[in-house]
Amino acid sequence: MRLLGAIRFDRDAFVWMDFNDRATGDGLVLVVVTQVLLMLGGGNSLLGLVGSLGAVIAGLLQALVFWLAYSGIAYAVAKFLFRGGGAYATYLRITGFAYPTLLLLLFTSRFISSGTLAFAAGSLWFLAIVAYGIHYISDLDLVKSGASAFGGIVGWVIISSIFSGGFII
């Protein structure tokens, strides 16, 4: 029910995430389940996933690293650039509960030929939920909260480009 509340931007869901430590574990479960569903939706069969356990572990590790890094970058932007409040653990919870909306990437990638545009369109709901959560947690206005959520994506793209050996220039 808390997932539906976060997806609907219900303030009570974000209040619960702020005060309930168990929400971090729930966010982790949502990230893992969503990543498995994304792998299945990407053309892998269930038996194919079982057969390629290394690929599954790599995909899950990538999702977990994204979850941790994105939350940290969004936290740093809100806290140090915009002087907002909140704790890193709460940002983790918000990001974990927003993560299932990335299932929209399966839809957008089918109908939008440009990979970058499909990623942008599929990530909008994710960014909106994170921005609303940051707005609640940090006492920032929605523009600064949205900039913090977007800054998390920009930071992730930069970090993943550096570690993958690609250059963004």
Tell me the mean pLDDT per 10 residues along the chain, length 169: 82 89 93 91 66 81 95 97 94 95 88 84 92 94 97 93 69
Distances (CA, A) of 12 to 3, 18, 39: 11, 10, 31
pTM for this structure? 0.88
Q: What span, in angstroms and rounded, lies between the C-alpha atoms of 139 and 28?
A: 25
What pLDDT is attached to residue 42?
A: 72
What pLDDT is attached to residue 63?
A: 95
Token pair, residue 33, equals 């389940």
The gap between the terminal CA atoms of the chain, to the nearest Å, is 43
| 3-class SS letters over 81-131 | HCCCCCCHHHHHHHHHHHHHHHHHHHHHHHHCCCHHHHHHHHHHHHHHHHH
